[in-house]
């Protein structure tokens, strides 16, 4: 059971206080998008064996959605940050690179 820190209210809490919401930074495809782009948006996920960017909601707390960067293999958490961003902030990338110099962000 993971420990995560909500970047909005600052509370560090057990996983049971949060609710996972799958991959972060998906680009929404709506009216006018191609079938392929729309299908990819709905169903295709990166699911890397390694560092993942995830959506979480502090559902039994402040109710806010946020993002977490963590390693799905070692369970290391590199940080949590606002959900209101299109890509991980520099500070998160820096803290990942500091520990995993070879890591490359999957586009």
Positions that interact with other proteins (CB under 8 A): 1-3, 14-15, 21, 28-33, 35, 38, 42, 55, 57, 59, 63-65, 70-71, 74-77, 83-84, 99
Q: Which is nearer to other proteins, 15 or 105 (CB)?
A: 15
Q: Which is nearer to other proteins, 73 or 106 (CB)?
A: 73
Q: Which is nearer to other proteins, 42 or 90 (CB)?
A: 42
C-alpha span between 12 and 33 (Å, rounded): 40
The structure tokens 């999957």 sit at 106
Task: State the minimum distance, in angstroms, from the CB of residue 82 to other proteins.
Answer: 9
Tokens standing for residue 71:
């390693």
Contacts (Cβ under 8 Å, ≥6 apart) of 61 = 6, 9, 11, 13, 17, 18
């Amino acid at each position: 059971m993971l420990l995560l820190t909500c970047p909005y209210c600052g509370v560090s809490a057990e996983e049971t206080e949060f609710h996972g919401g799958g991959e972060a930074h998906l680009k929404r495809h709506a009216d006018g998008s191609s079938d392929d782009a729309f299908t990819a948006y709905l169903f295709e996920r990166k699911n890397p064996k390694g560092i993942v960017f995830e959506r979480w909601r502090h559902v039994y707390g402040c109710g806010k959605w946020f993002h977490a960067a963590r390693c799905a293999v070692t369970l290391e958490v590199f940080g949590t940050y606002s959900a209101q961003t299109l890509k991980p902030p520099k500070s998160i990338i820096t803290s990942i690179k500091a520990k995993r110099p070879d890591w490359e962000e999957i586009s």
